[in-house]
Structure 1
C-alpha cells in the first residue's frame, strides 16, 4: 500500500505478528516499521490483524483488540472500536466511509457503515451468510449470496437492501461453488464486477454488469494463459480503468473497451488472406483471397464462393460495372445487375509477355482500362478488345519490368506508384515524368518502391513506400519529407494512404493500422488486441465505400470501420519514469548508482574523470513496450531531438559546463509522455581550469618570474663585477703587452738600423768586389781573345777548344759580375729594364759547352 508520504507499505504476515517494511519512493531507502515510527504508534506489530487502504492513500490498521486506526499525514488517528472483534469478517473503506461486516452470535450478519468525517455509525442487517464484493463510487456496498445466487446492494441504506437475482443472467455455475479464495472484485469507477474461477473442472472469467448481466466473457481470451496451476490471485484497478490481474506467472493488464472495428471473415473454419476488395451498387462486397474469390452480403455473410477464380485488384466504372485484374493476365468485366462476366485474355502472339500478378486496375475518363502488373503497364480497349502492353516510355526503360502497384487518376492525368518511383502520364501521350530517388530536384523523392499514392486538397502527395515509410511530397516545389519508425510509425512497409474528413491519414501496414495526423504528425497505431483482424495487411487490399467506411484486408480477414468513430479520440498521455541512472568512474572503472539523487533533486553533478552517464527510463503504457519510441536532446550541446529505439541512453565524456537533458517517449499507439523527463547536468571543470588553480598558477608564475628577475639582477650584478675585474685584468695584460710591444719595437728599430747599415755595407762590398773582379777578368778576356785571334801564333785545335771554353766561362763570369752591379743599382732604385728579342740557341749552346769538356773526359758523346 502507498501512504500520503509517498511510502510503500510492504506487509508480510508471520507467526510472530505482522512485519511491515516501508520503502521511501523519493529516496528508495528501506526501513522497518519500528525505525520509522518508533514510539509514535499506539500498538505493536503483534497487535496488527488487518491493513487496508483507500483511493486517497489513507492506511487503515485493525488490531486484534478491535481498534481501527487511520494513518494520514504522518500521524495515527483512532477511528472506531469494534464491540466484539471476534465477530468481524471483512473490512472495506473508501475516501468517505469505513465498512465493517460482522457475524452475530445467532448466525445473523450485519454491516457497520462508519463516516470518516464524523465517525457516525450506520448499522445494516444482512439476510444470512454473505460475501463482500466491494464498494462502488456511490458509496454502496455490494455483497454476494452464493447459495441464493443473488447480489445485494446497500444503496438504499436503512430502507433496505436492493436484491438482484443472478439466475436471470445465465452465468456459469462455477461461480456459485464455494471458492478456495476470493474470486470477484468490484471496479469502483464503473461498478462492473470481475468474476473469475480457475479450478481443474470449473473455469470462468467474465465481467458482470449488475443490471445487464455478463457483458464480457474473457475466458476464451485467457484460456491459454491462466491455468489451475497459475490462477488469478487478485485484480486491481488503476486510474485509467485498467485491470491488473496478479498471478504466479506475473501480472496481466486487461482493458475493456468497445471495438470500433468490424471484422469480416474472422472466426471462419478457413483463414482468408485477402487481396482485392470492392463493393457493387447492390451493396455486395466482392473480395479476393488466396482461397479464391467470394461475395459477402452487407451484413458480412458469405453469399458465393469461387475457389477457381483469383483476382488481385478491382475497380468500378461510371456505369456500375466492376473490373477485375487476375493473377494469370486476364481482365474480367462483371455486371452486378445481370451477374454476367466478360473476359479479356492477353493474346499469345503479342510481342511482349503477358501481365502477371496485376496489382492495380482503373478505367479512365476515355473508357480505356489500364492494368498495372509486376512486369509493367498494360491497357485494354473494351470496344475493340485490343489488349496490349504500354511501351511509350522510352525515357524510362526501367518501367518495362517495374511493378505497377497503384494507378491514380486526377484531372491532369494518371499517376502510377511503382517499384521504381512515381510516374505521371497525360492522356494520349507518352510517359515523360518520373519522380524517384535518382532524379534531380524538383523530381527527387527519398524512396523508389511505392505501393500507393494519394493527393490531398492542397496538392500534396502522400506516398506509401514498401520499406521507406510514409513520404510527403510537393510536386510543385520538389520538397519532400520522409516519416519512418524513427518518427513513430509502427512499420516502414505501408500498403495504402486514405484521408478521412478530420485531417487524419489511415495507413494499413505490415504491423498494425496507423492513424497519422497531417498537422502534428502524431501516430496512433491499432493492433489486433485493439480489435483489427490481423496485425499484417496486404498489397492492393484496401477500399473506401460510398458512405466513407474504410476496408483493409490482411492475412486473416477484413477490418472495416468508419473514421468518424475515432474523431473524438484524444491523445493518451502516460508518465515517463526514470528507472536507473549510473555513472562510470574513469579512475576506478566502477559504476555508481545515482538513481536516488537524480529522482530526488532532478540534477546530477559529474566529475571530469567520469567516463559515461548511463540512463534507463520507461514509458509506463505497459503495452508493446518493445515498440516504444524515445527521443532526447541535450540543451547546451544539441539543437535537435535525437531518436532512440531503446529505453536507455549512454552519454560519454561531456565537456565541462551546464546542460539540460530532456527525454520524451511515444508508444506505438500514439501515447505521448505526459511530460519530458528532465535532468539538469553539471560537469565540473577539470582542476587545471578552475579559477583557484588558474589564480594559483598565475601567482606561482608571477613568483617564478619575480624570482627569475631577482636572480637575473643578481646574476647581472655578479657578471658586472666579474666583467669589471676582467677588464682590469685585461687592461693590465694589455699594458703589459703594450710595454712588451714598445720594447720589441725599440729592439726592431735598433735591428733595422743595424740591418740597414749591414745592407749598405753589403752593397758597398758587392760593388767594390765587383769592380775588383771585373778589372782582372777583363784583362784575362783580352789575352784569351788575342790568343784565339792568333796574335801569339797558331795554336792546336785541342788548345783552341779549351781556350774557347775558358773564354766563354770568363764572359759568363763577367756577366755575373755585371749582374751584381745591377743588384746594387736595383737597391739604389737606378736599374732600368729594356725588353728586346734574343736568340735562345746561343744560351743553350753555352750551357752545353760548360759540360762538354767534362763529358769528353768521360768519353760521353
Structure 2
C-alpha cells in the first residue's frame, strides 16, 4: 500500500527535521550532591567487586551507584586527603598516590595500599618491605588496561610494571632524560604520560625525548616546534596517535601517528580513524581511556566531545554546563558494564554510548509545529513512509521530507480506507488529494473516535469511547453498530483480524467479535464471555495462531489466556516486566511480542518468556508510550508512539539480544544488634571476611544493605529504580519483594538458614548473580547439645556421688543399727529368757491351780456323793447327783487344761469325747446306750468351753435319765460343725420319745433345760428344739473373740 501519492509531497506547511543520531548518549554528572567529597574528582578505578573508587581533593570515595563512602586521613589513617592518582592490581589492592595541597596536581611521593575488601591501609613501604625503589621517588601510578600497574620513579627515571603474581619488573630506564627544571615538573600529572592497553607513552616535556614502551620493545622520538602535544589513542594496528599544535600555527592542531618502526609521521587521512573533526581545531585537553577504546576532547569555547574510534560525538555543549569554560578533565576510564567515567573539576561524568537501533519520528526535537509530542494512530508502508497523529497534528514523513497538518482537536485513530487517509478524534476527517488538506465529515460520530478499521471498500469500523459505529464512505454517514450483551462498551482501542479472517475489537472492558453480514446490514459486536476478562482492564490484545490470546492490561501486566482450556498465566513485574501497565502488542517473525508500556519498550519471547526492555538509553525518545499507538508494516518493521513522537525499528536488529543480565550485586553495609553489648554494631568487614552471619541468642535483629552495581540513574519514575527480593531458605517458601536496597531481619528461630537476595534492574531483568549468605541463629547455651550433655553428665555425677554418699551413710547407719540390734537382741534374748522363765513358772502355777481346782471339784464331787448316800429322799439324792455330775464336768475341763501345754484353750474334740464317756459311765448301768461323737479338731477358749461342757452334761444327763425307758437300745449323737471362723453349731440328738409337741426350750420350767437355755445365751447362741425321730437340740454358739467384737 502506498501511503504517499505524488501529490502528497507538497501538502501543508513543511518543516524539515534533523535525521536521527547514529548513537544514543546517556550522561549524568555526579558531584557533592551525590555525596562525593569534592567537586574536583581527579582519578578513578573499578575494583574486582564492581565498586568505583574516586580520588578527590578531600578524600577517597567508594561509589556503589547510589551512595558514597568517604575515606580520609582523619577517619581511616590515609597519609593525606588529596588523592590525585589511583590504580588497582589483580589482587584487589588499591594504590593511592597523594598530591600537594595547591592547585596543581603535583604528587608528593606518598603512596598507600588499601585492601578494597577489608579497607585496611598500609603505606607502600610497609606493604612491600622489599620494594625495589623508594616510596618517595614514586611520581606516577596508573593502570594500563592489562590488569597490571605502571609505576614511574625518579632518581633515576625508571618505568616499572607490577602484578601480584609477577611482582615488580623493571621495563625501561629513561637514560635520555635530564632533569634540568625543578622537582615539581615531572611530578605534575596531566597529559604527560599515557598508558593504553599495555603501551606506555612516557615524556617529561615536549622538548625532551619521548618513549613508547610495548612489552620489551622501546621506541623513542622527539617533537620539534611543538607547543601542546596531546596523545589521542591507538589505532587498530597499535600505532600511537598524537594531536598537537606548533608555534607557527597555534590555533590549528595536526595529527601524527607513531608507526611500528618508531617513526612519527603525519596521519594522512584522519577520517579513516573518525578524527576528521579533530584536525584544524584548538584543543585544550585530551584524555584517552585506559583501555584505549575512547578519548575525551575538551574545547572551552565549544563543547566536550568523545571519540570511540567509530565516531566523533558531541557530549556536552558549552551552554549545558555551568562554568564549562573553566572545566578541567583529568581522567577517562571504562567500567566493566560499558560505561565511561570522566573525572573533571566539576565532578565525575558517567557516559554511556550505544549504537542507536531505533529511529525517531516527529519528536519535539525533530519538528516545531507541535509542542505536545504525544503520538496516537500510526500508519507505515514497506518503504519507510510513516504517518502519525501527534496530539493536534497529523505528520507524514517520506524519506527525509516531513509534512504536518493541524487539526482543531486531538486526533487518535488512523486508517487507509477506500484509497484515502482517514483520521479520527472528536470528528472524522478525510484527506482530500485535490485540495491537499483534511476535510471533516459533516456528520459527527457517536462519541470521540479512538480507533478505525477498514472492513471493506465502503465500510469503515469506528471504535469510540463508549461504543461502536460504522462509517459508510459511499453514503458518507455513520450507521450504528449494535452490541449484544452488557455492560456498555468503554474505550475501543483496536480492531484486528485473526488467521481465519474474523474481525475482533479490543475494548477496555472486553473482547468483541464482529458477527453478521455487512451486505444485509446485520452486523453486530458480540462480547466474548469470560470470568477472566470481566476482571481485567484491557489496553490491547493479540491472538496467537493456536487461538490463545495475549492480553495487555492496565496495571496487571500481560496475560496468556487459552479460552479452549480456560487456562491463563500472568506475567508482571515479578516475571521481569518493567511495569504492569502495558499499552500495545505487536508480534515479530521471531516468536517475540513487542509491548509498549509506561516505562520502556518490551521484547517478550512467547516460547521461553525471556524479557528485554529498551529505554531512552537505547535510543527511544521517551520511556512512556501511549494507548492505541502502534503499527506493524508490511516489511516487518514496527512502530510505537509515546509521549515524544514515534519510534520505528526493524526487529531483526535485535535478534541477537539476550536477557543475560550479569551485574555485581554487593553487600554495602551490615549492622547487627549485639545483645551482650546492647548496641548496634557495624560488622560489614566481618561479614565480607567470613561470608556468613552468626546471631547469638540475645542478638535481636540485623540490617543488611546491598546494591546492584549497574550504575543506572534513578529517573524518579515509579519503576525506574532497582527492585529486590529476598528469601530465607529453610524458613520462607516464597520470595519477599521490596523496593529498598535494605532488609531488617528479626525474630528468627534457632537453626541454620541461607539468606538469598536477588536484584532486578529498572528494565525488569533479574540479575544472574544473587547474594547467598549463610545465616546461623545460635541456640542459648542451655539448649546446646554440649551444655545438655554436660548437665546430664553433671547430674549423673551428682546422682552417683549422692548414691555413693547415701550408700556410705546407709553402711554407717547399717553398722550402727546392727550394733543397736545386736545390743537389743542381747537385751531381748535376756528379756525373752526372763519371760520364758516367768511363763514356765506361770504355766507351772496355772497347771497347779487347775490341778488344785480339779482336785477341789473332785472333793466337792466326793462330798456330794457322800452326802447323797446319807439322804433318804430320792429327789434330793437325785439333785445332789446332778450337781455332782456338773461339778465333775467342770473338773474335766480343768483336767484337760493342766494336762496339756495350752492353758487358755482346750481341745474341743477330746473334751467332748471325755465328757460323753464320763456321763455315760455314770448312767450306763441301766440300759445299753451308744454314743456317736463327731467333733472337729478345734480349740475352744475356756470361757466358751465351760458353758458348752455344762450344756452337754445337762443334755446327756437328761437323755440317760429319761429318753431310753421305752426303747431297747439308746442312741445319742453329738456333732459340732464349724460354721465360719469363730462360729460353731452343736447338734445333739437321741432316739427317745422327745419332749411334748410345740415345746419351747426358752419356756422350760425344769432346772436342767433352764440351765441349758441360760448357758447357750452366755456363749452367744440360741437353742432350737426339733422332734425328729427323737429329740434334737441345735445350738449355735461363738467363741470369745467373736463375742467381743459383737459387744
Query: TM-score w.r.t. structure 2 length?
Result: 0.60
User: Is the counterpart of residue 576 in structure 1 residue 665 in structure 2?
Assistant: yes
Q: Kindly provide the CA deviation profile for residues 206-251 of structure 1, in whole angstroms up to 9, marking residues without a partner as x.
A: 23477x8x73122349814773466544322334443212234532
The match for 1:86 is: 179
The match for 2:348 is: 251
Alpha-carbon shift at residue 101 of structure 1 (Å): 2.4
Aligned 8 A contact 1:578 1:616 in 2: yes
User: Is the counterpart of residue 150 in structure 1 residue 254 in structure 2?
Assistant: yes
For structure 1, which segment, 695-704 or 552-561, has the greater mean C-alpha deviation from structure 2 after superposition?
Answer: 695-704
For structure 1, which segment, 363-372 or 63-72, has the greater mean C-alpha deviation from structure 2 after superposition?
Answer: 363-372
1:841-856 correspondence to structure 2 within 5 Å: none
1:513-662 correspondence to structure 2 within 5 Å: 513-570=601-658, 571-624=660-713, 627-662=721-756
The match for 2:528 is: 433
Counterpart selection for 2:97 from 1, 5, 11 = 11
The match for 2:537 is: 449
For CA contacts below 8 A with separation 6 or more, give which structure has more relative contact order.
2
Task: Tell which structure's C-alpha radius of gyration is larger.
Answer: 2
Alpha-carbon shift at residue 185 of structure 1 (Å): 1.8
Counterpart selection for 1:101 from 189, 199, 203 = 203
Counterpart selection for 1:49 from 113, 119, 139 = 139
Quickly say closer, same or farther: Cα 1:2–1:361, change in 2 above 3 A. Answer: same
1:734-745 correspondence to structure 2 within 5 Å: none
The match for 2:231 is: 133
1:745-784 correspondence to structure 2 within 5 Å: none
Alpha-carbon shift at residue 176 of structure 1 (Å): 1.7
User: Is the counterpart of residue 314 in structure 1 residue 420 in structure 2?
Assistant: no
The match for 2:958 is: none
Aligned 8 A contact 2:604 2:611 in 1: yes
Q: Aligned equivalents of 1:235 and 1:57: distance in 2?
A: 17
Q: Aligned equivalents of 1:260 and 1:681: distance in 2?
A: 46
The match for 1:475 is: 563
The match for 1:205 is: 304
Quickly say closer, same or farther: Cα 1:62–1:674, change in 2 above 3 A. Answer: farther
Counterpart selection for 1:416 from 478, 502, 505 = 505
In the alignment of these two chains, the number of paired residues is 722
Alpha-carbon shift at residue 313 of structure 1 (Å): 0.9
Q: Aligned equivalents of 1:635 and 1:281: distance in 2?
A: 54
The match for 1:235 is: 332
Q: Tell me the secondary structure at the aligned position of residue 532 of structure 1.
A: coil
The match for 1:787 is: none
Q: Aligned equivalents of 1:264 and 1:133: distance in 2?
A: 39
Aligned 8 A contact 1:447 1:465 in 2: no
Please, which runs of 5 or more residues in structure 2 have no aligned partner?
A: 1-86, 102-106, 187-191, 517-522, 715-719, 822-942, 948-1009, 1014-1047
Alpha-carbon shift at residue 542 of structure 1 (Å): 1.5
Q: Tell me the secondary structure at the aligned position of residue 656 of structure 2.
A: coil
Aligned 8 A contact 1:134 1:142 in 2: yes
Counterpart selection for 2:362 from 251, 265, 287 = 265
Counterpart selection for 1:176 from 255, 261, 282 = 282
Please, which runs of 5 or more residues in structure 1 have no aligned partner?
A: 348-353, 725-748, 754-827, 830-861
Alpha-carbon shift at residue 709 of structure 1 (Å): 8.1
Quickly say closer, same or farther: Cα 1:284–1:99, change in 2 above 3 A. Answer: closer
Alpha-carbon shift at residue 605 of structure 1 (Å): 2.8
The match for 1:502 is: 590
The match for 1:686 is: 780
Quickly say closer, same or farther: Cα 1:325–1:31, change in 2 above 3 A. Answer: same
Quickly say closer, same or farther: Cα 1:225–1:245, change in 2 above 3 A. Answer: farther
Q: Aligned equivalents of 1:258 and 1:664: distance in 2?
A: 29
1:775-814 correspondence to structure 2 within 5 Å: none
Aligned 8 A contact 1:472 1:481 in 2: yes
Quickly say closer, same or farther: Cα 1:580–1:445, change in 2 above 3 A. Answer: farther
Quickly say closer, same or farther: Cα 1:355–1:18, change in 2 above 3 A. Answer: farther
Alpha-carbon shift at residue 496 of structure 1 (Å): 0.2
Alpha-carbon shift at residue 470 of structure 1 (Å): 1.9
Alpha-carbon shift at residue 498 of structure 1 (Å): 1.0
Aligned 8 A contact 2:196 2:290 in 1: no
Q: Aligned equivalents of 1:486 and 1:174: distance in 2?
A: 54
The match for 2:580 is: 492
The match for 1:806 is: none
Q: Tell me the secondary structure at the aligned position of residue 486 of structure 1.
A: helix
Aligned 8 A contact 1:445 1:480 in 2: no
Quickly say closer, same or farther: Cα 1:162–1:664, change in 2 above 3 A. Answer: farther
Aligned 8 A contact 2:586 2:631 in 1: no
Counterpart selection for 1:77 from 169, 175, 182 = 169
Counterpart selection for 2:389 from 288, 299, 307 = 288
Alpha-carbon shift at residue 195 of structure 1 (Å): 0.4
Q: Tell me the secondary structure at the aligned position of residue 490 of structure 1.
A: coil
Alpha-carbon shift at residue 382 of structure 1 (Å): 5.0
User: Is the counterpart of residue 673 in structure 1 residue 748 in structure 2?
Assistant: no
Alpha-carbon shift at residue 576 of structure 1 (Å): 2.0
Q: Tell me the secondary structure at the aligned position of residue 496 of structure 1.
A: strand
Alpha-carbon shift at residue 461 of structure 1 (Å): 1.5
Q: Aligned equivalents of 1:670 and 1:336: distance in 2?
A: 46
The match for 1:193 is: 295
Q: Aligned equivalents of 2:262 and 2:438: distance in 1?
A: 75
Quickly say closer, same or farther: Cα 1:540–1:48, change in 2 above 3 A. Answer: same
The match for 2:151 is: 60
Alpha-carbon shift at residue 67 of structure 1 (Å): 3.3
Q: Kindly provide the CA deviation profile for residues 563-598 of structure 1, in whole angstroms up to 9, marking residues without a partner as x.
A: 112212234532222222232224444233333233
Aligned 8 A contact 1:346 1:388 in 2: no
Quickly say closer, same or farther: Cα 1:590–1:557, change in 2 above 3 A. Answer: same
Quickly say closer, same or farther: Cα 1:460–1:158, change in 2 above 3 A. Answer: same
Aligned 8 A contact 1:275 1:553 in 2: yes
Aligned 8 A contact 1:53 1:60 in 2: no
The match for 2:478 is: 387
Quickly say closer, same or farther: Cα 1:538–1:505, change in 2 above 3 A. Answer: same
Q: Aligned equivalents of 1:620 and 1:275: distance in 2?
A: 37
Counterpart selection for 1:30 from 104, 121, 124 = 121
Q: Kindly provide the CA deviation profile for residues 421-475 of structure 1, in whole angstroms up to 9, marking residues without a partner as x.
A: 344454456625333xxx2xxxx25951111101123333211112222222222
Q: Aligned equivalents of 1:389 and 1:221: distance in 2?
A: 60
Q: Aligned equivalents of 1:281 and 1:153: distance in 2?
A: 46
Q: Aligned equivalents of 1:412 and 1:149: distance in 2?
A: 67
Q: Aligned equivalents of 1:645 and 1:578: distance in 2?
A: 16
Counterpart selection for 1:112 from 194, 197, 211 = 211
User: Is the counterpart of residue 161 in structure 1 residue 249 in structure 2?
Assistant: no
Alpha-carbon shift at residue 340 of structure 1 (Å): 8.9
Q: Kindly provide the CA deviation profile for residues 710-745 of structure 1, in whole angstroms up to 9, marking residues without a partner as x.
A: 9999999999x9xx9xxxxxxxxxxxxxxxxxxxxx
Aligned 8 A contact 1:537 1:555 in 2: yes
Alpha-carbon shift at residue 643 of structure 1 (Å): 3.0
Quickly say closer, same or farther: Cα 1:338–1:320, change in 2 above 3 A. Answer: farther
Q: Tell me the secondary structure at the aligned position of residue 696 of structure 1.
A: helix
Q: Aligned equivalents of 2:152 and 2:535: distance in 1?
A: 65
Q: Tell me the secondary structure at the aligned position of residue 468 of structure 1.
A: coil
Counterpart selection for 1:277 from 370, 375, 378 = 378
Over the residues paired in the alignment, what is the CA RMSD in angstroms? 4.8
Alpha-carbon shift at residue 502 of structure 1 (Å): 1.9
